[in-house]
C-alpha cells in the first residue's frame, strides 16, 4: 500500500512545486465528482493521472485549466493562486492543454494553428498593427513554426486545412499548437484515445522528447497504461473522485487498492 | 385591489396567447434543436386564412377553424420539416438560426402575395362573441373573446403536459430531446418524432394567431412588425422556462401579459410611461437571456454520442487553374472601369441612385462579413447600427452645423460604442443567446430608441445632407457615387487587413473552437468586443452614407426586418469574403430597382429567393453564390486540364498516325 501524501505536501522534497492542487472538491447535482483531490507536479516532472472511467480525471483537469470552477479547494501554479482566474489567464501563466475530444480550428491550415498559438504567446492581437499591414509572419516566426512541425512530425501537412486531416494527425496538431505556447506545464487529456498502436507510440515518444529536451512538466490523463508506463515519472490514481494512490508506475500498479478500483471489488 | 384587478385581468388573455407561442417554441426547440423565429409569421398566416375563409368565402367559423388551424398550419410545419430542417439535423446552432431567419423573412413576404395588401378591420372571433360581456369578476367585465382565449389555452396546456407525461409519442419526444441518435439506436423513429413536433407546434402557432384576432382591431398584411410583439413575448416566456418546462412557460407568459397591462394602467401618463411600456418586454427578454442559468447549457453539445462524430467535411478547396488568375483579375478591373464609366455617363439618373445605394449597402454589408464571416457570431441588429450612424450624422450636421463627413465618423464611433457595449453585456453568453440579444436590441431600437425626435427624428425623420469637401460638392448622384466607391474601397481595404492580420486569425480560431482559443491564452471577451466594435462601426459609417444618399433617414429605414434581410443576403452571396459583401450590396440594390417594376403584392418574391438562398447555409457556409462560383471555376479549370492532356496525347500521335481518329 502506497501512502497517499497529506494534503498539500509533495510526495518527495521539491524546492517548490510547479502545480499544486489542494483538496479540490466539486459535485454535479449531488454526485461528488471530486472529493478532496490533491495533486502536485514539480518543475519538469512528468506525472500520469490514471483511474477507471468516471474517476474524475477530466474534471480535475478542467478545474486546473479553468474550464470549471471547483466548489472547494485551491489550485496554485508557479507561485500564483489560480482561484477565480479564467482559462485564458491561466494559459498565459504558462499552462497549455490538449483535449480529449479534439478541439481544432477546422478551416485553418496546420501552419495557421501554430501561428495563432505563437502570436497568442507574444500577447494580444494589436488592431493597429493589423491595420498598418504589419502582421504578416516574420522570418523568426516561420522558423519556429517549421521547427515545431518537424518536432511533432507534420511538416508535409503544414498547408493543409485541418478539416481534411485524420484524428491522429489532429492530435499531433493540438500537441504542436500547445507547444507553440512554450508552456511550463503541458496538460494532455487522453492523447491516445482513438489512435492506433503506432500512432500512440509516436505520440509517447514526442511527449518524452519534449520533457527531456525542453524541460517541460507534463500532466497526462490516460487510459492506456502502457503509454503511461512509457511516458511518466510518477502516477496519481483517482477513483470516485479521491486520490487513492500515488508513486512510481510499477509500485502503484501492484497496489491492492488500485487493482480493486480497476478490476472490481472482488479482485 | 379592484383597481389592480381591473388592469390585471384583461392581461390574462394576452398572456394566454403568448403562452401558445412559447409552447410552440419550446416543443420545436426540444425535439429538433431549431429555434423557430418564424413562429409569429406562421401565427399570422393562419389568422389570415381564417379571416379570408370566414368573411370572403362565407364558411362557418368551425369549418374555417378546421381548415386554417387543424389542416393548413400543421401542413406548413410538416413542409418546413420535410423540405428544410430534416436535412440539417446535425447542423450547427448558427446554421439552424440562419435557416429560421430566412423563414422569418420569407413567410411575411408571402402574406401579401396570397392575401393582397388591404388591411382587414374587425376580424372574426373563433368561438364566443367578443362584443358580448359574459360575466364580471370583481367588477371587471370579461368578454366572449377573452373567455374563449383563456379556456382554449388552458385546455391546450393541460393536453400538452398530459401528452408529454403519459403518451408514447410524448415519451419518445423526451428521449429524442436527450439524444437524437441514442434514441434512434433504441428504435425510435426520430424523424417521425421531429415531424410530429413541427406539426404540433405549427398548430399551436395557428391557434395563437386565430385566438389573437378578437384581441386586435385590424390585420395589416404588409406590416411585419405587427406580429413581433407576439414573438417577443413568446420568446421571453420560453427563455424564462429555459426552453424546457411547459408549465413554467405558460405561467411566465400569463405573468408577462398581466404585468404589461398593469404597468400600462398604473404608471402616470407622461414621458416616463411612454418610455417604460414599450421597453418593458425587451428588458425582460434580455434579462432572461443574460441571467437565466438554465439557458447556458443550450449551446453545449450534450449529445452523448457527439464524441464519436466524424470530423466535418473539408471545405471545398477551389481548384483554380493558374492561367485563370490573370484573366479573372482583368475581368474584375474591366467590370469596375465599365461600371464607373457607365455610371458617370449613359446610365439614367434613376439607376445611378440605385447603383450608389448598392455601393453604400456594400459598405454596410462588410460589417456582416466582419461579424458573421470572420468571427462566426450572428448579429441581427446590423441595420440598427447603421441607423445609429445615419441619425447621429444627420443630427450633428443639422443641429451642430458639423460637416456631414465628420458627423459620419462620430456616428460610426457611437455605433461602435453601442456594439462594444452589447458584446460586453453579453460577454457570458454566446451563439444562439447572443443572437437573440442582438435581435432584442434591434426590436428595442425600432419601437423605443429610434422613436424620439432627438434620435430617429420622429415621423418626419432626420435630414442627412450630402457632403461638400472644399471645392467638391457631392450633391449630384453621380458625384456621390464616386464618393461611395472611394468609401467602399477604403473600408474593404480595412476589412482585408483585419482579416489577414492577427485579429483575423484569432477570430477564425474562435469561430473554429472557442475552448481551444481560450486555452492558448487568447481572451474571447476581448476578441468578441473587438469584432462587435469594428463591425458596428463599419455599419454605422455605411448607414451615415446611406442616409446622406437619400438626404434623410427615418426609423422605418432601419427596422429589424432590414437587419434580417442584410444578414440573409450576405450569407447567400458569401459572408466569408469581401467580394461576397459587394455582390450582396449590388444585388440588393438591383433587386430593389427591379421591384419598382413589379406589382406591390408580388414585391416579396425576390426577398423570398434570398431567404431560400440563406437556408442553404448548413450545406454551403461559404454562401451559395460563392459555392456556385467556385464550382464553375473548377469546371473551367478541369476543362483546361482536359484540353491540355488531349493536346499532349495528340502531339506525339501525329508523328506516327497521319489521321488521328479521336476528336
**Residue-level pLDDT at B31:** 81
**Residue-level pLDDT at B389:** 95
Shortest Cα distance, chain B CAs vs residue A247, angstroms: 29
Taking 70 as the threshold, does the pLDDT of residue B271 lie above it?
no
Mean pLDDT of chain A: 84
| A28-37, A82-91, B370-379, range with the lowest pLDDT | A28-37
pLDDT tens digits for B417-466?
Answer: 999 999 998 887 877 888 889 998 998 888 888 888 888 887 788 888 89
Strand partners, A47: A219, A234
**Residue-level pLDDT at A202:** 83
Higher pLDDT, B560 or A29: B560
Q: Which of A87, A108, A174 is facing B509, going by the closest CB pair?
A: A108
CA distance linking residue B286 with residue A134, whole number of Å: 40
Specify the pairing of strand A242-247 against strand B472-473.
Answer: unpaired
Say if residues A82 and A18 touch (Cβ distance below 8 Å).
Answer: no
Taking 80 as the threshold, does the pLDDT of residue B183 lie above it?
no
Q: Which of B504, B521, B534 is facing A120, going by the closest CB pair?
A: B521
Residues on chain B touching A161 (C-beta within 8 angstroms):
314-315, 317
pLDDT tens digits for B202-258?
Answer: 999 999 888 887 767 677 776 666 667 778 888 899 999 888 888 899 999 999 989
pLDDT band of residue B658 (cuts 50, 70, 90) is very low
Query: Cell numbers 517541460 correspond to what residue?
Result: A216
pLDDT band of residue B415 (cuts 50, 70, 90) is very high
Taking 50 as the threshold, does the pLDDT of residue B315 lie above it?
no
**Residue-level pLDDT at A265:** 56
**Residue-level pLDDT at B58:** 82
Q: Which of B501, B520, B522 is facing A130, going by the closest CB pair?
A: B501
Q: Which of A96, A133, A136 is facing B519, going by the closest CB pair?
A: A96
Shortest Cα distance, chain A CAs vs residue B33, angstroms: 22
pLDDT band of residue A176 (cuts 50, 70, 90) is very high
Output helix, strand, coil percentages for chain A, rounded to the nearest 5: 40, 25, 40
Shortest Cα distance, chain B CAs vs residue A138, angstroms: 12
Kindly state the percentage of chain B with pLDDT values over 90: 23
Residue A105 and residue B530: Cβ atoms within 8 Å? no
**Residue-level pLDDT at A7:** 46
Say if residues B69 and B160 touch (Cβ distance below 8 Å).
Answer: no
Taking 90 as the threshold, does the pLDDT of residue B391 lie above it?
yes
Say if residues B478 and B471 touch (Cβ distance below 8 Å).
Answer: no
Residues A26-45 have a mean pLDDT of 86
Residue A91 and residue B312: Cβ atoms within 8 Å? no
Greatest mean pLDDT among B177-186, B380-389, B433-442 lies in: B380-389
Say if residues B40 and B111 touch (Cβ distance below 8 Å).
Answer: no
Residue A163 and residue B518: Cβ atoms within 8 Å? no
Greatest mean pLDDT among A242-251, B321-330, B373-382, B536-545 lies in: B536-545
Helix (H, G, I), strand (E, B) or coil at A38: strand
CA distance linking residue B205 with residue B202, whole number of Å: 5
**Residue-level pLDDT at A1:** 43
Taking 60 as the threshold, does the pLDDT of residue A9 lie above it?
no
Residue A88 and residue B505: Cβ atoms within 8 Å? no
pLDDT band of residue B359 (cuts 50, 70, 90) is very high
Residue A105 and residue B502: Cβ atoms within 8 Å? no
Residue B498 and residue A127: Cβ atoms within 8 Å? yes
**Residue-level pLDDT at B272:** 65
**Residue-level pLDDT at A264:** 67
Residues B32-56 have a mean pLDDT of 84
Q: Which of B311, B504, B506 is facing A163, going by the closest CB pair?
A: B311
Q: Tell me how many residue pairs between chain A and chain B have CB atoms under 8 A apart.
A: 131
Residues on chain A touching B509 (C-beta within 8 angstroms):
105, 108, 116
A179 and chain B in contact, CB less than 8 A: no
| B182-191, B275-284, B306-315, B612-621, range with the lowest pLDDT | B306-315
Residue A65 and residue B497: Cβ atoms within 8 Å? no
Residues on chain A touching B517 (C-beta within 8 angstroms):
105, 116
Strand partners, A32: A27
A116 and chain B in contact, CB less than 8 A: yes
**Residue-level pLDDT at B270:** 67
Residues on chain B touching A131 (C-beta within 8 angstroms):
494, 497-498, 501
Shortest Cα distance, chain B CAs vs residue A172, angstroms: 14
CATH number of B2-130+138-298: 1.10.3470
pLDDT tens digits for B469-525?
Answer: 878 888 888 889 999 999 999 999 999 999 988 999 999 999 888 889 999 999 989
**Residue-level pLDDT at B657:** 45
CA distance linking residue B27 with residue B160, whole number of Å: 10
Tell me which chain A residue has its CA closest to the CA of residue B490. A131
Taking 60 as the threshold, does the pLDDT of residue A266 lie above it?
no
**Residue-level pLDDT at B662:** 46
Shortest Cα distance, chain A CAs vs residue B378, angstroms: 18
CA distance linking residue B338 with residue B340, whole number of Å: 6
Domain boundaries, chain B: 2-130+138-298, 359-597, 623-663
Taking 70 as the threshold, does the pLDDT of residue B316 lie above it?
no
**Residue-level pLDDT at A13:** 52
Residue B519 and residue A65: Cβ atoms within 8 Å? yes
A223 and chain B in contact, CB less than 8 A: no
Tell me which chain A residue has its CA closest to the CA of residue B307. A101
Domains of chain A with bracketed CATH: 1-94+184-267 (3.40.50.300), 102-182 (no CATH)
| A100-104, B213-217, B572-576, B582-586, range with the lowest pLDDT | B213-217
> What residue spans of B267-400 are helical by DSSP H?
271-291, 322-344, 349-368, 382-399
Q: Which of B315, B505, B526 is facing A124, going by the closest CB pair?
A: B526
**B137 backbone φψ class: left, alpha, beta (φ>0; ψ -120 to 50):** beta
| Beta carbons within 8 Å of B506's beta carbon, 6+ residues apart | A116, A119, A120, A125, B517, B522, B527
Find the length of chain B. Answer: 663
Shortest Cα distance, chain A CAs vs residue B594, angstroms: 37
Name the phi and psi angles at A247, rounded to 5. Answer: 150, -170
Residue B501 and residue A135: Cβ atoms within 8 Å? yes
Q: Which of A91, A97, A105 is facing B508, going by the closest CB pair?
A: A105
Residues on chain A touching B515 (C-beta within 8 angstroms):
67, 87, 99, 103
CA distance linking residue A52 with residue A234, whole number of Å: 17
Taking 80 as the threshold, does the pLDDT of residue B603 lie above it?
no
Residue B519 and residue A91: Cβ atoms within 8 Å? yes
Say if residues B68 and B212 touch (Cβ distance below 8 Å).
Answer: no
**Residue-level pLDDT at B224:** 60
| Beta carbons within 8 Å of A215's beta carbon, 6+ residues apart | A43, A44
Say if residues A249 and A218 touch (Cβ distance below 8 Å).
Answer: no
User: Which H or E element spans position A122?
Assistant: helix A110-122
Residues on chain A touching B527 (C-beta within 8 angstroms):
125
Say if residues B539 and B371 touch (Cβ distance below 8 Å).
Answer: no
Mean pLDDT of chain B: 83
Shortest Cα distance, chain B CAs vs residue A12, angstroms: 30
Residue B311 and residue A105: Cβ atoms within 8 Å? no
CA distance linking residue B393 with residue B357, whole number of Å: 17
ipTM at complex level: 0.88
| Beta carbons within 8 Å of A229's beta carbon, 6+ residues apart | A249
CA distance linking residue B11 with residue B256, whole number of Å: 8
A260 and chain B in contact, CB less than 8 A: no
Helix (H, G, I), strand (E, B) or coil at B458: coil
Amino acid at each position: 500500500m502506497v501512502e497517499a501524501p497529506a494534503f498539500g505536501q509533495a510526495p518527495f522534497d521539491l524546492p517548490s512545486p510547479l502545480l499544486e492542487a489542494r483538496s479540490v472538491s466539486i459535485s454535479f447535482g449531488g454526485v461528488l465528482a471530486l472529493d478532496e483531490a490533491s495533486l502536485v507536479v514539480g518543475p519538469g516532472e512528468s506525472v500520469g493521472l490514471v483511474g477507471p472511467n468516471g474517476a474524475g480525471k477530466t474534471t480535475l483537469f478542467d478545474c486546473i485549466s479553468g474550464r470549471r470552477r471547483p466548489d472547494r479547494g485551491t489550485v496554485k501554479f508557479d507561485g500564483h493562486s489560480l482561484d477565480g482566474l479564467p482559462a485564458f489567464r491561466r494559459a498565459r501563466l504558462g499552462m497549455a492543454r490538449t483535449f480529449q475530444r479534439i478541439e481544432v480550428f477546422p478551416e485553418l491550415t496546420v501552419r495557421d494553428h501554430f501561428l495563432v498559438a505563437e502570436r497568442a504567446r507574444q500577447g494580444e492581437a494589436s488592431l493597429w498593427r493589423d491595420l498598418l499591414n504589419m502582421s504578416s509572419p516574420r522570418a523568426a516566426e516561420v522558423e519556429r513554426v517549421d521547427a515545431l512541425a518537424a518536432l511533432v512530425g507534420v511538416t508535409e501537412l503544414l498547408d493543409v486545412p485541418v478539416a481534411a486531416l485524420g484524428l491522429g494527425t489532429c492530435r499531433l496538431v493540438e500537441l504542436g499548437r500547445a507547444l507553440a505556447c512554450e508552456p511550463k506545464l503541458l496538460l494532455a487529456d487522453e492523447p491516445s484515445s482513438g489512435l492506433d498502436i503506432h500512432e500512440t507510440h509516436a505520440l509517447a515518444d514526442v511527449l518524452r522528447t519534449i520533457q527531456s529536451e525542453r524541460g517541460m512538466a507534463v500532466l497526462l490523463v490516460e487510459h492506456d497504461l502502457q503509454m503511461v508506463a512509457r511516458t511518466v515519472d510518477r502516477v496519481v490514481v483517482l477513483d470516485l473522485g479521491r486520490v487513492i494512490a500515488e508513486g512510481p508506475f510499477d509500485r502503484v500498479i501492484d497496489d491492492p487498492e488500485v487493482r480493486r478500483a480497476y478490476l472490481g471489488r472482488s479482485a | 385591489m379592484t383597481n389592480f384587478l381591473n388592469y390585471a385581468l384583461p392581461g390574462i388573455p394576452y398572456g394566454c396567447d403568448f403562452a401558445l407561442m412559447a409552447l410552440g417554441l419550446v416543443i420545436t426547440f426540444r425535439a429538433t434543436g431549431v429555434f423557430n423565429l418564424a413562429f409569429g409569421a406562421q401565427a399570422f398566416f393562419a389568422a389570415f386564412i381564417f379571416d379570408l375563409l370566414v368573411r370572403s368565402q362565407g364558411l362557418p367559423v368551425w369549418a374555417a377553424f378546421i381548415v386554417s388551424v387543424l389542416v393548413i398550419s400543421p401542413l406548413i410545419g410538416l413542409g418546413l420539416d420535410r423540405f428544410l430542417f430534416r436535412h440539417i439535423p446535425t447542423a450547427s446552432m448558427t446554421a439552424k438560426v440562419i435557416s429560421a431567419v430566412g423563414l422569418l423573412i420569407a413567410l411575411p413576404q408571402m402574406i401579401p402575395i396570397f392575401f393582397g395588401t388591404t388591411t382587414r378591420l374587425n376580424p372574426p372571433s373563433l368561438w364566443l362573441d367578443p362584443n358580448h360581456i359574459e360575466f364580471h369578476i370583481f367588477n371587471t367585465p370579461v368578454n366572449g373573446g377573452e373567455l374563449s382565449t383563456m379556456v382554449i389555452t388552458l385546455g391546450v396546456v393541460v393536453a400538452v403536459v398530459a401528452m408529454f407525461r403519459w403518451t408514447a409519442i410524448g415519451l419518445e419526444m423526451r428521449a429524442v430531446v436527450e439524444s437524437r441518435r441514442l434514441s434512434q439506436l433504441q428504435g425510435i423513429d426520430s424523424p417521425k418524432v421531429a415531424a410530429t413536433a413541427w406539426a404540433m407546434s405549427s398548430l399551436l402557432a395557428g391557434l395563437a394567431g386565430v385566438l389573437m384576432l378578437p384581441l386586435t382591431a385590424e390585420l395589416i398584411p404588409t406590416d411585419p412588425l405587427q406580429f413581433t410583439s407576439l414573438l417577443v413575448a413568446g420568446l421571453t416566456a420560453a427563455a424564462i422556462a429555459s426552453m424546457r418546462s411547459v408549465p413554467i412557460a405558460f405561467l411566465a407568459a400569463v405573468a408577462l401579459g398581466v404585468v404589461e397591462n398593469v404597468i400600462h394602467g398604473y404608471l402616470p401618463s407622461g414621458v416616463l410611461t411612454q418610455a417604460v411600456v414599450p421597453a418593458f418586454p425587451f428588458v425582460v427578454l434580455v434579462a432572461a437571456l443574460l441571467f437565466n442559468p438554465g439557458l447556458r447549457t443550450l449551446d453545449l453539445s450534450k449529445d452523448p454520442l457527439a464524441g464519436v462524430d466524424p470530423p466535418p467535411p473539408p471545405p471545398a478547396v477551389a481548384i483554380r487553374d493558374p492561367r485563370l488568375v490573370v484573366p479573372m483579375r482583368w475581368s474584375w478591373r474591366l467590370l469596375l472601369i465599365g461600371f464607373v464609366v457607365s455610371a458617370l455617363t449613359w446610365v439614367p439618373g434613376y439607376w445611378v441612385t440605385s447603383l450608389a445605394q448598392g455601393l453604400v449597402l456594400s459598405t454596410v454589408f462588410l460589417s456582416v462579413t466582419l461579424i458573421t464571416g470572420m468571427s462566426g457570431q450572428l448579429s441581427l441588429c446590423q441595420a440598427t447600427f447603421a441607423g445609429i450612424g445615419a441619425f447621429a450624422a444627420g443630427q450633428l450636421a443639422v443641429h451642430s452645423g458639423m460637416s456631414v463627413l465628420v458627423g459620419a465618423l462620430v456616428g460610426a464611433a457611437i455605433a461602435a460604442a453601442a456594439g462594444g457595449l452589447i458584446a460586453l453585456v453579453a460577454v457570458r453568453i454566446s451563439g444562439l443567446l447572443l443572437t437573440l440579444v442582438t435581435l432584442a436590441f434591434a426590436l428595442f431600437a425600432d419601437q423605443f430608441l429610434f422613436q424620439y425626435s432627438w434620435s430617429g427624428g420622429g415621423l418626419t425623420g432626420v435630414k442627412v445632407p450630402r457632403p461638400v469637401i472644399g471645392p467638391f460638392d457631392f450633391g449630384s448622384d453621380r458625384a456621390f457615387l464616386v464618393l461611395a466607391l472611394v468609401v467602399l474601397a477604403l473600408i474593404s481595404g480595412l476589412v482585408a487587413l483585419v482579416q489577414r492580420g492577427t485579429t483575423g486569425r484569432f477570430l477564425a480560431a474562435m469561430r473554429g473552437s472557442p475552448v481551444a482559443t481560450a486555452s492558448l491564452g487568447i481572451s474571447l471577451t476581448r476578441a468578441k468586443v473587438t469584432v462587435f466594435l469594428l463591425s458596428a462601426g463599419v455599419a454605422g459609417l455605411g448607414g451615415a452614407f446611406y442616409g446622406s444618399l437619400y438626404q434623410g433617414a427615418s426609423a422605418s429605414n432601419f427596422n429589424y426586418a432590414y437587419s434580417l434581410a442584410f444578414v440573409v443576403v450576405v450569407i447567400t452571396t458569401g459572408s466569408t469574403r469581401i467580394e461576397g459583401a459587394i455582390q450582396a450590396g449590388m444585388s440588393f440594390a438591383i433587386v430593389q430597382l427591379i421591384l419598382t417594376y413589379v406589382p406591390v403584392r408580388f414585391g416579396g418574391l425576390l426577398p423570398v429567393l434570398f431567404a431560400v438562398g440563406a437556408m442553404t447555409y448548413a450545406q454551403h457556409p461559404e454562401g451559395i453564390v460563392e459555392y456556385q462560383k467556385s464550382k464553375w471555376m473548377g469546371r473551367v479549370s478541369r476543362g483546361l486540364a482536359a484540353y491540355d492532356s488531349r493536346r499532349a496525347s495528340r502531339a506525339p500521335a501525329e508523328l506516327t498516325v497521319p489521321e488521328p481518329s479521336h476528336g
